[in-house]
A and B are shown apart, each in its own frame.
Chain A
Amino acid sequence: MVNPVFLIAITLGFAFIFPLFEKINPKLSRLAGILVFLTLVVIPLIWFINISNMDIPYIYSSTVGLPSNLTINLAVSYMEALVLLVVNGVGLFVYLQEAYSKESPWKGKQIILLSIVMLGANGLIITRDIFNIFVFMEISTISLFGLLSCSSDDRVFEGGFKYMLASGLSSVFYLIGIGFFYLVAGTLNLDALPDGINFTGGVLGVLWPLFLLSGVLIELKPAFANGWGMDTYEAADYSLGAIMSGIQATALIIVLTKIIPLIESNIIMPLLLVVGSITFIISHLQALGQSSFKKMLGYSSSAQIGLVLIVLGSGTNILLAIVLLLTHSVAKSGLFYTGKYFNECGSGRDKPLLVVLSSLFVIALLGLPPFPGFGAKWTLLQILGGKSDVFTIFIILLGSLLEGVYLFRWLGLKIKSDRDSGLVVSEVVPDDDAIPGYSSSDTIGVASQTGLAGLGGCIKVHFSSDSFSYHQLFPALMAVIMVVSGVVFNKGVGLTFRFLIPFSGILFFVVLDLFRVPTKFQVFLAIVASIILGFYVYPELNGFNTLFGFIFLFGIGVQFIAFFNRKGYSPGLMALTVGLLVSLISILTSKTNFQLFFSWEMMTLTSYFLVLRGDNAFAGGYRYILFSLASAFFILAGFSMLHGIFIGEYMSLPQNLLPVILIIIGIIIKFAGIGVHIWLPVSYAEAENDVSSIFSTVLSKVGVYMLFLGGLYFSKRVFKGVDTMYLLGWIGVLTSVAGSMMALFQEDIKYTLAYSSMGQVGYMILGFSIMSHLGWISSLYLVTTHMMFIGMLFLSVSGVIYRTGTRLMYQTGGLIKRMPLSFISALFAIIALSGVPPLSGFGAKWLMYSALLEKGWYLQAAMAMFASGVAFLYLFRLIHSIFLGQEKAIYLNVKEAPAPLLIPQYIFMICVMAISMFPNLLIKPLQTVIEPYFASTVRWEGYEVISALGYWNGNAVMYVTMGVFIIPLIWLLIVNRHVYKVKQFNIVYAAERPFKPETTHYAYNFFGHYQKALGFLVEPLISKFWNGTGILVNNLSGGLRRWNSGNPQGYVFQILLYVIFLSFLMGGTN
Chain B
Amino acid sequence: MMTNLLFILAGALVLVGLWGILTRRNIFKIIIGFSLVDTGVHVFLVAIGYVKNGTAPIFDKEYSSLHSLLNTVDPIPSALVLTAIVIGLAVTALMLSFAVRLILKNRTLLVDGKKELKW
A128 to B1, CA, bound (A): 34
How many whole Å from B67's CB to the nearest CB in chain A? 21
Q: Is the CB of A1049 within 8 A of B22?
A: yes
**Nearest CB on B from A176, distance (A):** 6
Could you tell me the distance in whole angstroms from the C-beta of B51 to the nearest C-beta in chain A?
13
**CB of B94 within 8 Å of the partner chain:** yes
B63 to chain A, nearest CB (A): 22
Cβ-neighbour of A178 out of B34, B80, B117 (below 8 A)? B80
A-B contact count (CB 8 A): 118
Chain A 165-203 interface residues, beta-carbon cutoff 8 Å to B? 165, 168-169, 171-172, 175-176, 178-179, 182-183, 188
Q: A164-B94, A188-B76, A1044-B118 known; A179 and B30 CB under 8 Å?
A: no
Indicate if A601 sits at the interface (CB-CB under 8 A).
no
Interface string of B75-86 (1 = CB under 8 A from A): 011001001100
- The interface residues of chain A lying within 8 Å CB-to-CB of B48 are 179, 182-183
- Which chain A residues in 1028-1070 approach chain B with CB under 8 Å? 1041-1042, 1044-1049, 1052-1053, 1056
**How many residues in A have their beta carbons less than 8 Å from beta carbons of B?**
45
Smallest CB-CB separation from A232: which chain B residue? Answer: B117
Find A182's partner among B22, B76, B97 (CB 8 Å cutoff).
B76
Chain A residues with CB under 8 A of B119: 289, 1041-1042, 1044-1046
Q: Is B8 an interface residue (CB 8 A)?
A: no
**Residues of the A chain whose Cβ atoms lie less than 8 Å from the Cβ of B115:** 158, 1045-1047
Closest to B34 in A: A168
Cβ B118 vs Cβ A1046 within 8 A: yes
A513 at the interface (CB under 8 A from B): no
Taking a contact as CB atoms under 8 Å apart, the answer to whether B91 and A168 are in contact is yes
* Residues of A close to B77: CB separation below 8 A: 179, 182
Q: Which residue of B lies closest to A132 (CB)?
A: B83
**Which residues of chain A are within 8 angstroms of B111 by Cβ–Cβ distance?**
1047-1049
CB neighbours (8 Å) of B76 from chain A are 182, 188
> Given the known A-B contacts A157-B105, A182-B77, A1053-B22, are A142 and B91 also in contact in the complex, defined by CB atoms under 8 Å?
yes
Most chain A CB atoms below 10 A, which of B18, B45, B76, B80: B80
Residue pair A145, B98 in contact (C-beta under 8 Å): yes
**Cβ of B95: which chain A residues have Cβ within 8 Å of it?**
161, 164-165, 168
Question: B44 touching A179 by the CB < 8 A rule?
Answer: yes
Within 8 A of A (CB), among B27-86: 27, 30, 34, 37-38, 41, 44-45, 48, 76-77, 80, 83-84
- Name B77's closest neighbour in chain A (CB-CB): A182
Nearest neighbor of A131 in chain B, beta-carbon distance: B80
B109 contacts chain A at the CB level, 8 A cutoff: no
Q: Does A235 contact B (CB under 8 A)?
A: yes
- The chain B residue sitting closest to A167, CB to CB, is B91
Q: Which residue in A146, A188, A1046, A1052 is a CB contact (below 8 Å) of B21?
A: A1052
With A158-B116, A158-B117 already in contact, the answer to whether A138 and B91 are too (CB < 8 A) is yes
The listed residue with most A CB atoms (<10 A of its CB), out of B34, B84, B106, is: B84
CB contacts (< 8 Å) of A1041 on chain B: these are 119
- Known contacts A158-B115, A188-B76, A1049-B111; is A165 also within 8 Å of B45 by CB? no
A237 at interface, CB cutoff 8 A? no
Contact A175:B41 (CB < 8 A) given known A157-B105, A164-B98, A182-B76: yes
Whether the pair B98, A160 counts as a contact (CB closer than 8 A) is: yes
CA A1045 – CA B94 in complex, angstroms?
Answer: 24
User: Within the complex, which residue of B21, B41, B116 is in contact with A176, where a contact is CB–CB below 8 Å?
Assistant: B41
Main secondary structure of the interface of A (DSSP, over half): helix
A135 contacts B by Cβ under 8 Å: yes
Answer yes or no: A231 CB below 8 A from chain B CBs.
yes
Q: In the bound complex, do residue A165 and residue B101 qualify as a contact, i.e. CB atoms below 8 Å apart?
A: no
Asked if B117 and A161 make an inter-chain contact with CB atoms under 8 angstroms apart, the answer reads no
Given contacts A157-B101, A1046-B119, contact A145 B22 (CB under 8 A): no
A448 at the interface (CB under 8 A from B): no
Bound: A169/B18 CA distance, A: 9
Q: How far is the CA of A164 from the CA of B95 in the complex (A)?
A: 7
Q: Cβ of A227: which chain B residues have Cβ within 8 Å of it?
A: 118
**Is the pair A234, B117 in contact by a Cβ cutoff of 8 Å?**
yes
Residues in chain A near residue B30, CB distance under 8 A: 165, 1048-1049
Closest to A1041 in B: B119
Q: Is A159 an interface residue (CB 8 A)?
A: yes
Q: How close is B70's CB to chain A, nearest CB, in angstroms?
A: 15
Complex interface: chain B residues within 8 A of A68 (CB): none
Contact B45 A157 (CB under 8 A): no
Cβ-based interface call for A450 (8 A): no
What residue of chain B has the Cβ atom nearest to residue A160's Cβ?
A: B98
Interface string of A438-482 (1 = CB under 8 A from B): 000000000000000000000000000000000000000000000
Which listed residue (A160, A172, A1045) contacts B118, Cβ 8 A? A1045
Contacts of A387 in B (CB 8 A): none
CB-CB under 8 A from A567, the residues of chain B are: none
Chain B residues with Cβ below 8 Å from A172 are 14, 37-38, 41
| Residues A176 and B44 in contact in the complex (CB < 8 Å), given A1041-B119, A1046-B119, A1053-B22 | yes
B90 interfacial by beta-carbon distance below 8 Å: yes
Contacts of B18 in A (CB 8 A): 1052, 1056
Roughly how many angstroms separate A146 CA and B94 CA in the complex, as a whole number?
8
Judge whether B99 and A1047 touch: CB under 8 Å. Answer: no
CB distance from B74 to the nearest CB of A (A): 9
Whether B87 sits at the interface, judged by CB under 8 Å, is: yes
Whether, in the assembled complex, A154 has its beta carbon less than 8 Å from a beta carbon of chain B, the answer is yes
CA distance A377 to B102 in the complex (A): 43
Residue A149, interface by CB 8 Å = yes
With a CB–CB cut-off of 8 A, which chain A residues contact B94?
Answer: 142, 145-146, 164
A182 to B75, CA, bound (A): 12
**Residues in B neighbouring A231, C-beta threshold 8 A:** 117-118
Residues of A with C-beta under 8 A to B23: 1049
* B42 to chain A: closest residue by CB: A175
- Chain A residue at minimum C-beta to C-beta distance from B116: A155
Whether the Cβ atoms of B91 and A175 lie closer than 8 Å is no
User: How far, in angstroms, from A426 to B119 measured CA to CA in the complex?
Assistant: 34
State the Cβ distance, B108 to closest chain A Cβ, in Å: 12
B102 close to A158 (CB less than 8 A) = yes
**B84: nearest chain-A partner, CB-CB:** A175
Residues of chain A from 124 to 140 with CB closer than 8 A to chain B in the complex: 131, 134-135, 138
Taking A158-B115, A160-B98 as contacts, is the C-beta distance between A138 and B87 under 8 angstroms? Answer: yes
- Of B45, B91, B118, the residue contacting A179 (CB under 8 A) is B45
- Taking CB atoms, residues of chain B closer than 8 Å to A234 are 117
In the complex, chain A residues whose CB is within 8 Å of the CB of B34: 165, 168-169
- Cross-chain contact of B117 among A159, A1053, A1056 (Cβ < 8 A): A159
CB pair A142–B99 under 8 Å, yes or no, is no
Alpha-carbon distance between A564 and B13 when the two chains are bound, in angstroms:
78
Distance of A172 Cα from B17 Cα, bound (Å): 12
| Chain B residues within an 8 Å CB radius of A175 | 41, 45, 84
Cα(A159)–Cα(B119), bound, Å: 12
Q: Are B98 and A157 in contact, CB atoms less than 8 angstroms apart? A: yes
Write the chain A residue with the least CB distance to B47: A179
Q: Are A149 and B112 in contact (CB under 8 A)?
A: no
Q: Which of A131, A142, A149, A1053 is the one whose CB lies under 8 Å from B101?
A: A149
Interface residues of A (CB under 8 A from B): 131, 134-135, 138, 142, 145-146, 149, 154-155, 157-162, 164-165, 168-169, 171-172, 175-176, 178-179, 182-183, 188, 227, 231, 234-235, 289, 1041-1042, 1044-1049, 1052-1053, 1056
7 A-B pairs with least C-beta separation: A1046-B118, A231-B117, A1046-B115, A1041-B119, A157-B101, A157-B102, A1047-B112
B contact residues vs A (CB 8 Å cutoff): 14, 18, 21-23, 25, 27, 30, 34, 37-38, 41, 44-45, 48, 76-77, 80, 83-84, 87, 90-91, 94-95, 97-99, 101-102, 105-106, 111-112, 114-119
| 19 extra A-B contacts, CB within 8 A, seeds A135-B87, A165-B95 | A131-B80, A134-B84, A149-B97, A158-B105, A158-B116, A161-B99, A168-B38, A175-B41, A176-B44, A178-B45, A179-B44, A182-B77, A188-B76, A289-B119, A1046-B115, A1047-B111, A1047-B115, A1048-B30, A1052-B21
A-B contact pairs, 5 of them (CB 8 A): A155-B116, A161-B99, A179-B45, A179-B77, A1048-B30
